[in-house]
Structures are given as structure tokens and as C-alpha cells.
């Protein structure tokens, strides 16, 4: 059985070199030297077994997803990922679990050139907490409070797969084992949007990531920017996997609108910048879809096939 320090050395050390890092793993604190021309974006997320992921989750998927949810926050600000810390609570030091968790974690970290600079391990119910840090040029971060009336609302990629996986995982929807496996993989190995987001800053000042559901996250923008919006639920883009799922068009749209766990970008762009936005998306090979418009009436209007949508669905909340 590995002890705490042997565990860290075996699975997590040796990944602590990168821009702005004076001292990584091995002392009481990491030492950082932020770029004087940049701002340091910082985010923290905790994933608890039974709340944020199902018991028995594939450890490779868990390692990847644990970092991805933080990288998604950095992307929403247009920040370049730089380094992260990891706090891992484990029922026991299962070496197979740790090896696969680390493999998934560093598959994404290495791709994003992120260094692991410290953290903690402890015994207890399975829980993963990551704090991620990234650089963004001063005054250039995309923010929730900068949407303007007339802006077009866009989303990147596809939505609904995360909600579909959760629904199937709770047996609220029956999928064949083969189809469930495909949905599971798509819901966990979500592509990072950091490169696209940094290019997006050229035409966009307002963005966030879709974690709690498109409608709930859009409300955050509206509240912070003191504006309203019209959102077309039937325009929300779905993965092709939905063609194989026995749901109505409305039920599929509801998963995209309220399901959450998609970690795509929801952002607003002035109509005058749409042509350049489309060129950026094409160059970065990222699908973008216009789904609504920002208004000045300070209310959110939901439409489905040009008719008011009035059902009382709620986005995910912890409490």
C-alpha cells in the first residue's frame, strides 16, 4: 500500500514545469511569477462521487473530466491555461484507479500544456478538487457582465449529451448498452475550447461555459449585464447521437436547454462582428450556432418552434 508521499511521487510528480512557475511540487507552497502584462484567471471545481459523477465511474474519464470542467471556466474568460492544483480524497490507495485517473488527467493537461504544481491527498469518500490558473491579457477577458442589447447569442459545439447521459444513468431513459457506452464517452471526453476562446476574444466580450444548463447559465449573463434575451430552444444544436434516441423534438431540446454538463461556450457577439466570427470558427474547426438575441427588456423569453415555452424546468443547483 502506497503512503501519501509515495502516492504523489508515483502518479503526480514530474508535471510541474511551465510558464510563470518558480517552484512547483515539493515544498509547502508553489511559487508563481505572473506576467506583468497579463491577468491571472483562477477557478476551482469539486467533483464528488454520487453528486457529480456516478459511483464506479471509469477513472480515466474521471481524471480527464475533473480537469476539463476547470479548463472550460478558463476558456469562458479567454484565458490560456497555465497550471493547476489537485486535491484528491480517496477511500483507499487503489493503484489501478490512480494510474488510470492520472492517465486521463495528464492526457488533457499535456495537450493544454498545463503543469500540476501542488495539492493534497486524503482518505475519505471519493472527491476531486482542482484549482486551475490561466493567463489573459489585461482588460481582454470575456465576462458575464458585458452583453449588449442587439448582440446575437451563440453556442459552440453541441448540447444535451451531458443531460442525456445523466438521464440514462438514473434509468429515466432506456438505452441499449452499445448506445449508452457511446453517450457515456461523449459526455466525459468533452473537447476543450481554450484555443477557440482565445481567438473568440477578437469579436466577443461576453461569454461563459454551459455547466448548469443553457437556460440557467444564460440567466447569469442577463443578471450580470442587466439585459434580457429571446432564446430559441429548437435552435439549440444537438449531437447526432440524438437521432438514435427515442425522445420527442421537445424533449431533446429540453435536455439541451436544462440538462447541463455540456461545457461548451455560450457567448454574445455584435451583428457587425458575425462575419469575422464565422471565419474564426471555420479556421478553428469549431461549430457555432446562433440561438437567440440579447434584448433591453430585462426578461428571458423562451420559444420553441416560434411559440412561447412556459414549462417550469429548473437548471441544476447544488442546494
pTM > 0.85: yes or no: yes
Are 20 and 47 part of one and the same domain? yes
| Whether the Cβ atoms of residue 278 and residue 288 lie closer than 8 Å to each other | yes
Q: Do 86 and 148 reside in the same domain of the chain?
A: no
Closest CA to 258 of 302, 311, 216, 208: 216
**Together in a domain, 200 and 157:** yes
The CATH number of the domain holding residue 274 is: 3.90.650.10
- pLDDT score at 129: 97
pLDDT of residue 318: 45
Overall domain count for the chain: 2
Residue 133 sits in a domain whose CATH number is 3.30.1330.10
Domain boundary among 78, 104, 137: 137
100 with 153, same domain: the answer is: no
pLDDT average per 10 residues of sequence, the chain (319 residues): 59 66 53 75 91 95 97 93 95 92 97 93 95 88 94 98 95 95 97 97 96 95 96 97 95 96 97 98 98 96 94 56
* Residue 259 burial class via C-beta count within 10 angstroms: exposed 0-12, middle 13-18, buried 19 and up: buried
Q: Which three cell numbers stand for residue 177?
A: 448498452
318 inside domain: no
Report yes or no: 262 and 75 within 8 Å, Cβ to Cβ: no
**Has residue 248 been placed in a domain?**
yes
Q: Domain span at residue 246?
A: 144-308
Q: What was the pLDDT predicted at 31?
A: 60
Amino acid at each position: 500500500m502506497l503512503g501519501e508521499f509515495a502516492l504523489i511521487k508515483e502518479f503526480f510528480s514530474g508535471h510541474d514545469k511551465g510558464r510563470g512557475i518558480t517552484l512547483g511540487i515539493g515544498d509547502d507552497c508553489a511559487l508563481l511569477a505572473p506576467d506583468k502584462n497579463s491577468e491571472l484567471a483562477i477557478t476551482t471545481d469539486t467533483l464528488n462521487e454520487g453528486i457529480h459523477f456516478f459511483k464506479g465511474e471509469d477513472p480515466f474519464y474521471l481524471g480527464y473530466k475533473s480537469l476539463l470542467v476547470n479548463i472550460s471556466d478558463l476558456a469562458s474568460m479567454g484565458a490560456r491555461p497555465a497550471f493547476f492544483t489537485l486535491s484528491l480524497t480517496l477511500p483507499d490507495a487503489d493503484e489501478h484507479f490512480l494510474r488510470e485517473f492520472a492517465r486521463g488527467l495528464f492526457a488533457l493537461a499535456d495537450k493544454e500544456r498545463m503543469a500540476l504544481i501542488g495539492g493534497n491527498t486524503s482518505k475519505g469518500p471519493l472527491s476531486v478538487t482542482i484549482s486551475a490558473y490561466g493567463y489573459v491579457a489585461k482588460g481582454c477577458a470575456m465576462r458575464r457582465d458585458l452583453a449588449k442589447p442587439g448582440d446575437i447569442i451563440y453556442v459552440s459545439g453541441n448540447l444535451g449529451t451531458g443531460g442525456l447521459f445523466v438521464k440514462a444513468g438514473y434509468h429515466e431513459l432506456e438505452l441499449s448498452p452499445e448506445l449508452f457506452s457511446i453517450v457515456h464517452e461523449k459526455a466525459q471526453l468533452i473537447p476543450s475550447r481554450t484555443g477557440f476562446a482565445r481567438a473568440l476574444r477578437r469579436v466577443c466580450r461576453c461569454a461563459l461555459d454551459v455547466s448548469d444548463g443553457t437556460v440557467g447559465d444564460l440567466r447569469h449573463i442577463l443578471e450580470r449585464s442587466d439585459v434580457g434575451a429571446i432564446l430559441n430552444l429548437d435552435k439549440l444544436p444537438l449531437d447526432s447521437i440524438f437521432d438514435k434516441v427515442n425522445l420527442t423534438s421537445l424533449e431533446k431540446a429540453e435536455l439541451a436547454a436544462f440538462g447541463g454538463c455540456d461545457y461548451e461556450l455560450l457567448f454574445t457577439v455584435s451583428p457587425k462582428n458575425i462575419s469575422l466570427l464565422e471565419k474564426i470558427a471555420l479556421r478553428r474547426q469549431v461549430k457555432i450556432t446562433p440561438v437567440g438575441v440579447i434584448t433591453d427588456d430585462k426578461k428571458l423569453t423562451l420559444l420553441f418552434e416560434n411559440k412561447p415555452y412556459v414549462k417550469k424546468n429548473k437548471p441544476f443547483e447544488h442546494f
